[in-house]
């Protein structure tokens, strides 16, 4: 069984081919970062246009990399949402056209389910039940998972998602988009205790996150400086800002596991590529005797391998979708 995964929910046009739910034969990610960088964030209209330009070539590259033809593909898995509607429509329409023209079944995948399934692409796979932290540019969610298809939301971002906070901080600091990789790189030479940015723990029993306050704290901090921070000061700012975010992410995730008596922690999504978050989760999990499952960095940020993996799981349960299936920007209409 060979599944072609297609992902186009934001600013990556991606295609991957997964065989028998195990062997990744191709994983192509065409990033639009250079297109959006000058605007300091993703411009939805430009993203859709770039997906249209790229998607045919990206799918062809995946087939070539795997040494396969379209006739070798047994099913297609494509992201239906959440994400930018114009971008999602490009991937979904492409998948439908392939499905219709070549009579290949296709299945729609929730992007968050894709991130959860990215943990199956590594060498260690999670044992259930598990507590999952999915942190990206659009979400900071904590889930209680009993299987790859059965999970309940325990907490979410009430305002800015963790990745969004990194991106906005970078913009305030005059750094490049996307902010996460730049801030985390600069943070490596900084002191995380240099500046005391607020930690938004919210109510004692809440697994929700709020990162808009720390962004304002950063803006206020910069405002009272006499001039632009020099390189070592900038490194301290990045390290302190990063620490305030990852401490809350790791703290609430571990707390959720302890509260629910669960011993497996899963972390995925673009922000899970952050080395300090990975380190802190490893330390805290070790201290509490929990096992941690985090995919390789390349599978944390958006990719189609995770969509193909989710497809391998979903297809067995559901079969193909109708051709009038729509995308969704926020919540899957079927699951509410
Ligand atoms: O999962 P993803 O590729 O796309 C979404 O679904 O949003 O996540 C992208 C987000 C961006 O906000 C980016 O700044 C953040 O992940 N990110 C990071 C790092 N690498 C990517 N945040 C912190 N540290 C990183 N090393
Ligand atoms: Zn994502």
What predicted TM-score, i.e. pTM, was given to this entire model? 0.95
Residues 209/242, Cβ–Cβ less than 8 Å: no
What residues does ligand 1 touch, defined as CB less than 6 Å away?
10, 136-138, 163, 166-167, 178-181, 184, 269-271, 273-274, 301-302
Which numbered ligand comes closest to the C-alpha of 242? 1
Q: How far apart are CA 213 and CA 244, in angstroms?
A: 11
Ligand 2 midpoint to CA 203 (Å): 27
Q: How far apart are CA 194 and CA 204, in angstroms?
A: 27
Local structure of 23: helix, strand or coil: strand
Counting Cβ atoms within 10 Å, is residue 287 exposed (0-12), middle (13-18) or buried (19+)? exposed
* Residue 199 Cα distances to 25, 161, 311, angstroms: 42, 14, 37
Ligand 1 midpoint to CA 80 (Å): 20
CA quadruple 261, 266, 269, 273: dihedral sign: positive
**DSSP per residue, 265-283:** EEEESGGGG-HHHHHHHHH
- Here the tokens at position 268 are 């995925």
Residue-wise pLDDT tens for the chain (336 aa)?
999 999 999 999 999 999 999 999 999 999 999 999 988 889 999 999 999 999 999 999 999 999 999 999 999 999 999 999 999 999 999 999 999 999 999 999 999 999 999 999 987 788 899 999 999 999 999 999 999 989 999 999 999 999 999 999 999 999 999 999 999 999 999 999 999 999 999 998 999 999 999 999 999 999 999 999 999 999 999 999 999 999 999 999 999 999 999 999 999 999 999 999 999 999 999 999 999 999 999 999 999 999 999 999 988 777 778 888 899 988 777 653
């Amino acid at each position: 069984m060979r599944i072609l995964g297609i992902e186009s929910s934001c600013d990556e046009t991606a295609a991957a081919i997964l065989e028998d739910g195990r062997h990744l034969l191709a994983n192509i990610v065409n990033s639009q970062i250079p297109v959006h960088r000058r605007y300091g964030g993703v411009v939805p209209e430009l993203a859709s246009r770039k997906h249209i330009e790229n998607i045919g070539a990206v799918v062809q590259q995946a087939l070539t990399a795997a040494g396969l033809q379209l006739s070798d593909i047994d099913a297609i898995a494509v992201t239906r949402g959440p994400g930018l509607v114009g971008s999602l429509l490009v991937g979904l329409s492409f998948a439908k056209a392939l499905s219709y023209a070549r009579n290949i079944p296709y299945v729609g995948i929730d992007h968050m389910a894709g991130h959860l399934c990215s943990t199956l692409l590594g060498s260690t796979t999670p044992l259930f039940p598990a507590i999952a932290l999915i942190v990206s540019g659009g979400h900071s969610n904590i889930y209680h998972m009993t299987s790859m298809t059965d999970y309940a939301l325990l907490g979410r971002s009430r305002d800015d998602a963790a990745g969004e906070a990194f991106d906005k901080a970078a913009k305030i600091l005059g750094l490049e988009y996307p902010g996460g990789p730049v801030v985390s790189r600069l943070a490596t030479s900084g002191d995380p205790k240099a500046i005391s940015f607020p930690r938004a723990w919210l109510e004692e029993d809440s697994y929700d996150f709020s990162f808009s306050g720390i962004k304002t704290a950063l803006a206020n901090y910069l405002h009272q400086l006499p001039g632009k921070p020099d390189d070592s000061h900038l490194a301290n700012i990045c390290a302190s800002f990063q620490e305030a975010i990852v401490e809350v992410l790791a703290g609430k995730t571990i707390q959720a596991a302890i509260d629910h008596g669960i011993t497996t922690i899963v972390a995925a999504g673009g922000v899970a590529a952050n080395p300090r978050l990975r380190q802190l989760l490893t330390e805290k999990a070790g201290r509490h005797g929990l096992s941690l499952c985090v995919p390789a960095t390349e599978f944390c940020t958006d990719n189609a391998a995770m969509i193909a993996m989710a497809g391998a799981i979903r297809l067995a349960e559901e079969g193909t979708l109708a051709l009038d299936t729509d995308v969704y920007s926020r919540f899957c209409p079927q699951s509410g």
